[in-house]
Structure formats: structure tokens, C-alpha cells
Amino acid sequence: MPNASHFEVRRDDLRRSRFREEALAEPGPGEVELRIDRFALTANNVTYAVAGDALHYWDFFPAEPGWGRVPVWGFADVARSALAELAPGERIYGYFPMSTHLVVRPESLGPGSFVDGAAHRAALPPVYNQYRRVAADPGYDRALEDRQAVLQPLFMTGWLLADLVGDEAADARAVVIASASSKTAIALAASLACASGVEVVGLTAPRNAAFVEKLGLYDRVVAYEAIPRLELAGPAVFVDMAGSAAVRRAVHERLGAALARSIGVGVTHWEQGSLKPPSLPGPEPEFFFAPSRIQKRSREWGARALQERIGEAWRAFALDSGRWLEIEVARGRDAFERAYRATVEGAARPDRGLILQL
């Protein structure tokens, strides 16, 4: 009987982790065992962990009380199957735990995708329960597989944020993005590039300023310590990618009533960040939950039309990322733990994309 390995973290202290072994039984009726080949690790996964209780991210892949399996995006192959429609060897893209295996119960099985119908996932956001069969995915490119795992979920969030700004803050003359070197921020800046008359301002630490400027996606790059001197031509939307309480307060105190919206996306400053920040000058900060935006646009445009719009923009972004993003692959438990700790501590380099193979 084969074993699965799971990388688990303490839900109350993300620095504490362990590997746990679990025996894998033969798939039961309607079940498929996926062997997880590779997945990306980014600051986005730290946000999943920090918001694990509030937004139910821990519920996707349950662990023992007090422990959690951080969700990631990546690729797996069908290992064993009780369904004739999903044969061993088929390649799958989707949402996985940091594990070597995952057993799913495919429903709504079509030529291009299926949904995990496991009972414990029924009430969770549908976007995370859908798995793509890459052989029938017109947007899949084996040569871009690692970039898809690293960037595509972040690009989707950035694209949806740009869509929200254009839809609900059309009068804004500037979008101010904190943690401008983050991959989601880069995706947002790229998606705003066609927004006429909107200045895109990137806030960043001095150590990342040269990298951010070289991207060529921001109209202006401003160091965090220069926020008290920030001047804008009109109403602005503030997008907070990292959840630094100090940066958020500095922006609100400087811009105040000039802020049309203040949107929180990430909480990678997890020891000081909060999904419900304290009262600040200007608009009350709101937390952006991408699945809600997906549901809204799917109702208005249709799910297929939405995916076509995102897919067209995604491929251009993925190809362009070759000029600024280098992919690194970490294999084995020691490399895995080092990579995880560097990401939790915020030490990952912005010009690197990390792929893990457990």
C-alpha cells in the first residue's frame, strides 16, 4: 500500500511545521488518486494560511486539530482511478495541498475539467474545486507549465482587481499599489497598462526599487519612506498587497479623503496584518476576495466569456514574464523546508518563481 507525505504547519504559528505520512487505500467507487508532481510557492500561499480560518482555506484539505495543509496551485497526474473516464497518466492542473497525493471525487466531469465533489468541499468557493484536464485545455503549454503554476492564480487576481477599478472606481486618476514588486502587484500593473489617464504608482522597499522600475509597468516608483511626500493629481485607489500596518497607515494619513477606495489583497506581513484593520483617515479598508469577483462577472458575462478574456490576457503576461522572472525548482524535504521558511519570512526574491517537488 503506497504512502502519501503531507507538509503541515501549525495554524497558530506558521513557522512550525512537520511532515506526516499517511497510508493510501485503493480508490473507492467514484474516486481518483492524484500524484502531485509540482506546485508553486508564493506569498499568496502565506495569505491563504493567514486567512485560513476567516476565509476557510484550511477546510479544503483537512488535517489533525491545530495543524493545516497550506493550499497551493500546481500539476498532478492520475495515479489510480475508479473512473474509466480518467485514466492513469492524465495530467491535471488545479488546487492542491502541499502533499504528494490527493484523492478526489470527480463530478461534472467533462472533456476539459471536473469538480471535486468531496462532501467537505461542497460549501467552499467553486473556483478552488475545479480541476483542468490539460490535454483539452487550449491555453495549456508544457513549456509554460512552471510559469502557469507560479503566476496564473496571481495574474487572475491582478486582472480581476484591474477590472474592479475600471468598473467601480472609474473616476480614479491614480492607482497606488503597495508591495509593487510582488507578482500580484505586477499582474495588476500590467492589467492597468491600457487604462487611459490613470497613473499607476508602485510603492516598494528601497532594495526592490531598481527591479520595480526595470519592469516598465509603473508610471512612478516611490519608496515607502517617501509616502509622506506623495503627490497625486486626483482621486486614487490604494491596493495593499502585503498588509503592512505601517504602510497602510502612512498612505491613509497622506491621502485621506483623496482615496476613493482602499483595498486589501494580501496579508504576508502576517504578524502585524489584519483582515479588519483599525480605523484610519479616508475610506474604510476592504478585503478583496477574488472568488466573489469571479462569481459576479460569471453571472454578468457568462463563465466561458470571462475565462476567454482572462485567458487571452494571461498568455501575453506569461510570455512577457520571461524577461523578469526566473524559475527555480526545489526538490526534496530539506529544500522544501528552506523554501517554505524563506517565503513565510518574506525573504523570497521578486525576480524568482519557486516550484517545489515533494
For 249-292, how does the pLDDT look when each residue is reduced to its tens digit (9 = 90+)?
999 999 999 999 999 996 654 444 455 556 889 999 999 989 89
Give pLDDT, residue 192: 94
The CATH number of 149-289, from 3.40.50.300, 3.30.1490.20, 2.40.370.10, 3.40.50.720, is 3.40.50.720
Torsion of CA 39, 42, 289, 18, to 10 degrees: 70
Where the chain has pLDDT below 50, the residues are 269-273
Cell of 142: 508544457
Which residues, at least 6 apart from 323, have a Cβ–Cβ distance to it below 8 Å? none
Per-residue CA distances from 115 to 4, 106, 108, 125 (Å): 22, 5, 6, 11
Helices (H), 183-265: 183-191, 209-215, 245-255
Give pLDDT, residue 270: 41
Give pLDDT, residue 267: 60
Fold of 3-137+325-357: Quinone Oxidoreductase; Chain A, domain 1 (3.90.180)
Give pLDDT, residue 157: 95
Give pLDDT, residue 276: 57
Instruction: Quote the distance between the C-alpha of residue 105 and its chain's center.
Output: 24
Instruction: Return d(Cα 233, Cα 62) in angstroms, integer.
Output: 49
Q: What is the DSSP string of 291-331?
A: HHHHHHHHHHH-HHHHHHHHHHHHHHHHHHGGGT-EEEEEE
Domain residue ranges of the chain, discontinuous segments joined by +: 3-137+325-357, 149-289
